[in-house]
C-alpha cells in the first residue's frame, strides 16, 4: 500500500486528437501520485503512453490497441472491500502487464497470490537483490538501490509465479508469471530515487512488449499540423497569448499549420510581470507575421479587485473579467470559428474530464473551463496529449527561442495571487520591481534553467526596520524558488547564500516600501507552490 500517494484517483479521457502512435502503453491509475511520472518515463523511451481509469473494461482496452499495460501504485489495500480493483479480464487479453507497488499486489491477488499487512513497512530507499534472471532484469545490477513506499506486501504467490528479487524486509520484491506475460515490482522504477529504474521500464517496453520506439515529437508535430488543417479549413482561429510556453507553442504550431488565418489576443490585465506585455509583443512580432491584438484591461481588472482579499474570489473576479475582455476583442475579428487553448495532459487528468466514467476533480483549470461555450467557438487543443517537458521540446523543434521556451510558469491570475490581501496598483509596483530583481539575479547566477519556478510574494504584513538613522515600518516580502519534475510535488531550491544575500540587498535598496526579505523553505506537499 503506497500511503504516501494521493488519496484522490485521477483519470484521463480517451484522446480527442486521434493520436496515430503505432505503439501505445496504457497506465491504469489506482490513485498514485506517480501515475503521470510513469507515463512520462515511458514516453522518454519513445513509446506513446496514456493514463486511463483503473476499472477500464477489456473491451475499452482493445479499442486503444495497446502493446502493454502498467498498473500504477495507489494508497489503498487490495484486501479492503472498497479498494479500487482492475477488471480480472485484462489478464486474459494476452497483453503484457507490469504491476507497480499496489499494481503488483493486484496482479498477485488476481492470479493466486496472498497480500497482507506487514509489521515492517518500507518507506524510502532499500537495497534490492535480484534472485532470478529474467527479461525484465536484463542489464540490471544484481544489487541496487530502489525506492519503496508500502505498508502491505505480497506474502505468498502461487506456483504459477517465480519470485525474481527481494529486500531485507520484503521477500517478494518482484515477480514473473510462468505462463502469462505478467510481471510485478513492489518498488517504484519510475522515480529518480531508483537510479536504475529506467532499465526496468525499458526492458518491459522492449524485451516484453516488443516495442520499437517509433514515437517522436517531430512526428507528433506533423500529425497535429495535419489535423489542424483538416479541422480548420479556411476559417480563422483565435489563440489567447499569455507569454508562457504553453500558449506560445500552441501559437507556433497553429502558425505553421494555417499561417495568416491565425489571430492572437493578449489581455493585459494589469497583473503581469514587469514589461511583460511589451516583451510578448516583441517576441511574437519577431517570430510570427500574424494578426496580434492587445486588449488593455488594466483599469477594469483593478477596479473590480478593489477590496477583494479572498484568494478564490480573486480568481473568480479575474476569470470573469478575462472572459469579458477576451470576448469583446474576439468579436472584432471577422470569420473566427475556432479558439485554441494550451491545455496540457496534466490539465485534462487533474480536471477529471473522463469519458470512461466518473472521476475525482482535483482542481479546476481556467484553460479547460467554459470560455469556448461562452464565445460560441469550436475548441482546438493541440497539446492536450503532452506533458510540460514535451511541450518545451516541441517548442524548440518549432523554432521558438530558448528564452521563451524555458520561461518559468506564471499563474493565470498573475500577480494577484502573489500579492496577498487586497490588490492595489501601489502594491503591484512594489511586487513587480522585486520580482524582476529576483529573476535577474538568478539569471546572472546561471541558475534559471536549473530551477523550476521562481518569484516574489508580497505579504500583507509590515515590520520594523532601520534605514540610515531612521526607524521604518514597511512591507515584508518572500522569495519562493522550487525544483520539480512535474509540479505535482516540489522541493524548495537550495540557492547559494550569496545569491540570496544579493537579492535581499538589491530589493531593500532599490524597491521603495520593502525593509524585510524572507526565503520560503516549504516543500509541496504540505505547502503549495503558489501562496494563494
The one catalytic residue among 50, 109, 122, 190: 190
Q: So what's the pLDDT on residue 125? A: 86
Q: So what's the pLDDT on residue 384? A: 86
Q: Is the pLDDT of residue 276 over 50?
A: yes
In the residue annotation, 101 being an active-site residue is answered as yes
Tens of pLDDT, residues 314-338 = 999 998 898 888 888 988 888 888 9
Give the number of C-alpha atoms closer than 13 A to the C-alpha of residue 492, restricted to the C-beta side: 15
Note whether 110 and 193 are same-domain residues: yes
Q: Which residues does 528 contact at the CB level (< 8 Å), separation at least 6?
A: none
In a domain, 470, yes or no: yes
In the residue annotation, 209 being an active-site residue is answered as no
Note whether 369 and 345 are same-domain residues: yes
Q: Which of 137-146, 333-342, 455-464 shows the lowest mean pLDDT across its residues? A: 333-342
Q: Is the pLDDT of residue 304 over 90?
A: yes
Note whether 31 and 122 are same-domain residues: yes
Determine the Cα–Cα distance for residues 420 and 311; give it in Å rounded to an integer.
Answer: 8
Q: pLDDT-derived band of residue 155, with 50, 70 and 90 as boundaries? A: confident
Determine the Cα–Cα distance for residues 385 and 344; give it in Å rounded to an integer.
Answer: 6
Q: Is the pLDDT of residue 156 over 80?
A: no
Expressed as residue numbers, the domain containing 280 is 217-405
Q: So what's the pLDDT on residue 117? A: 66
> All 3 cell numbers of residue 16?
480527442
Q: So what's the pLDDT on residue 363? A: 36
Q: So what's the pLDDT on residue 8? A: 34
Q: So what's the pLDDT on residue 136? A: 96
Q: pLDDT-derived band of residue 464, with 50, 70 and 90 as boundaries? A: confident
Note whether 448 and 498 are same-domain residues: yes
For the chain, percent of residues with pLDDT exceeding 70: 88
Q: So what's the pLDDT on residue 364? A: 37
Considering Cα of 168, then 170, then 176, then 177, what sign does the dihedral take? positive
Note whether 431 and 511 are same-domain residues: yes
Q: Of 375, 405, 435, which residue sits at a domain end?
A: 405
Determine the Cα–Cα distance for residues 321 and 340; give it in Å rounded to an integer.
Answer: 19
Q: So what's the pLDDT on residue 122? A: 58
Which of helix, strand or coil describes residue 330? Answer: helix
Q: Is the pLDDT of residue 118 over 70?
A: no
In the residue annotation, 190 being an active-site residue is answered as yes
* pLDDT, mean over the chain: 86
Q: Is the pLDDT of residue 351 over 90?
A: no
Note whether 235 and 197 are same-domain residues: no
Q: So what's the pLDDT on residue 145? A: 94
Note whether 90 and 180 are same-domain residues: yes
Note whether 186 and 138 are same-domain residues: yes
Determine the Cα–Cα distance for residues 36 and 10; give it in Å rounded to an integer.
Answer: 10
Note whether 228 and 325 are same-domain residues: yes
Residues 358-379: what's their mean pLDDT?
51
Determine the Cα–Cα distance for residues 62 and 48; give it in Å rounded to an integer.
Answer: 16
In a domain, 526, yes or no: no
Distances (CA, A) of 367 to 36, 141, 363, 371, 411: 19, 45, 12, 8, 12
Q: pLDDT-derived band of residue 374, with 50, 70 and 90 as boundaries? A: low
Note whether 339 and 309 are same-domain residues: yes
Best-predicted range by mean pLDDT among 74-83, 194-203, 289-298? 194-203
Residues 40-51: what's their mean pLDDT?
91
Tens of pLDDT, residues 194-231 = 999 999 999 999 999 999 998 888 888 888 999 999 99
How many domains does one find in the chain? 3
Residue 489: give its domain's CATH number: 3.30.300.10
What's this model's pTM, rounded to 2 decimal places? 0.72
The one catalytic residue among 188, 209, 264, 276: 188
Helix or strand holding residue 505 (H, E): helix 497-510
Amino acid at each position: 500500500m503506497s500511503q504516501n500517494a494521493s488519496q484522490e484517483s485521477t483519470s484521463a479521457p480517451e484522446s480527442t486528437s486521434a493520436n496515430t502512435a503505432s505503439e501505445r502503453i496504457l497506465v491504469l491509475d489506482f490513485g498514485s501520485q506517480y501515475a503521470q511520472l510513469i507515463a512520462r518515463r515511458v514516453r522518454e523511451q519513445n513509446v506513446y503512453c496514456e493514463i486511463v481509469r483503473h476499472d477500464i473494461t477489456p473491451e475499452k482496452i482493445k479499442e486503444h490497441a495497446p502493446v502493454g499495460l502498467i498498473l500504477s501504485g495507489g494508497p489503498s489495500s487490495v484486501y479492503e472491500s472498497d479498494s479500487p480493483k482492475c477488471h480480472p479480464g485484462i489478464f486474459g487479453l494476452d497483453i503484457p502487464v507490469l504491476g507497480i507497488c499496489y499494481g503488483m499486489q493486484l496482479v498477485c491477488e488476481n492470479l493466486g497470490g496472498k497480500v497482507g499487512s506487514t509489521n515492517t513497512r518500507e518507506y524510502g530507499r532499500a537495497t534490492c537483490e535480484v534472485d532470478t534472471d529474467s527479461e525484465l532484469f536484463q542489464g540490471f545490477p544484481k544489487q541496487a538501490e530502489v525506492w519503496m513506499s508500502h505498508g502491505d506486501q505480497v506474502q505468498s504467490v502461487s506456483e504459477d509465479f517465480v519470485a525474481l528479487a527481494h529486500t531485507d524486509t520484503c521477500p517478494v520484491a518482484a515477480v514473473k508469471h510462468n505462463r502469462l506475460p505478467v510481471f510485478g515490482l513492489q518498488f517504484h522504477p519510475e522515480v529518480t530515487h531508483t537510479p536504475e529504474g529506467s532499465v526496468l521500464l525499458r526492458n518491459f517496453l522492449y524485451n516484453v512488449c516488443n516495442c520499437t520506439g517509433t514515437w517522436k515529437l517531430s512526428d507528433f508535430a506533423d500529425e497535429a499540423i495535419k489535423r489542424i488543417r483538416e479541422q480548420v479549413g479556411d476559417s480563422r482561429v483565435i489563440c489567447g497569448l499569455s507569454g508562457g510556453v504553453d500558449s506560445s507553442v500552441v501559437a507556433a504550431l497553429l502558425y505553421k499549420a494555417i499561417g495568416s488565418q491565425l489571430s492572437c489576443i493578449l489581455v493585459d490585465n494589469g497583473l503581469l510581470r514587469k514589461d511583460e506585455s511589451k516583451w510578448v509583443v516583441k517576441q511574437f512580432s519577431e517570430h510570427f507575421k500574424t494578426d496580434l491584438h492587445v486588449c488593455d484591461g488594466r483599469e477594469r481588472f483593478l477596479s473590480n479587485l478593489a477590496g477583494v482579499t479572498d484568494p478564490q474570489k480573486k480568481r473568480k473576479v479575474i476569470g470573469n473579467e478575462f472572459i469579458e475582455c477576451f470576448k469583446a476583442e474576439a468579436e472584432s475579428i471577422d470569420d473566427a470559428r475556432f479558439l485554441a487553448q494550451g491545455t496540457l495532459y496534466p490539465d485534462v487528468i487533474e480536471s477529471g474530464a473522463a469519458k470512461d466514467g466518473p472521476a475525482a476533480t482535483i482542481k479546476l483549470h481556467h484553460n479547460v473551463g467554459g470560455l469556448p461555450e461562452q464565445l460560441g467557438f469550436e475548441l482546438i487543443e493541440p497539446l492536450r496529449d503532452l506533458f510540460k517537458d514535451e511541450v518545451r521540446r516541441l517548442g524548440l523543434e518549432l523554432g521558438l527561442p530558448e528564452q521563451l521556451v524555458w520561461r518559468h510558469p506564471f499563474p493565470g491570475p498573475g500577480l494577484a495571487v502573489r500579492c496577498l490581501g487586497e490588490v492595489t496598483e501601489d502594491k503591484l509596483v512594489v511586487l513587480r520591481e522585486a520580482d524582476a530583481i529576483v529573476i535577474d539575479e538568478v539569471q546572472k547566477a546561471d541558475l534559471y534553467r536549473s530551477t523550476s519556478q521562481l518569484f516574489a510574494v508580497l505579504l500583507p504584513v509590515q515590520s520594523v526596520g532601520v534605514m540610515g538613522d531612521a526607524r521604518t515600518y514597511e512591507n515584508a516580502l518572500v522569495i519562493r524558488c522550487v525544483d520539480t519534475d512535474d509540479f505535482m510535488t516540489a522541493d524548495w531550491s537550495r540557492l547559494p547564500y550569496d545569491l540570496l544575500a544579493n537579492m535581499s540587498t538589491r530589493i531593500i535598496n532599490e524597491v521603495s516600501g520593502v525593509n524585510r526579505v524572507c526565503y520560503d523553505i516549504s516543500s509541496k506537499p504540505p505547502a503549495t507552490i503558489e501562496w494563494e
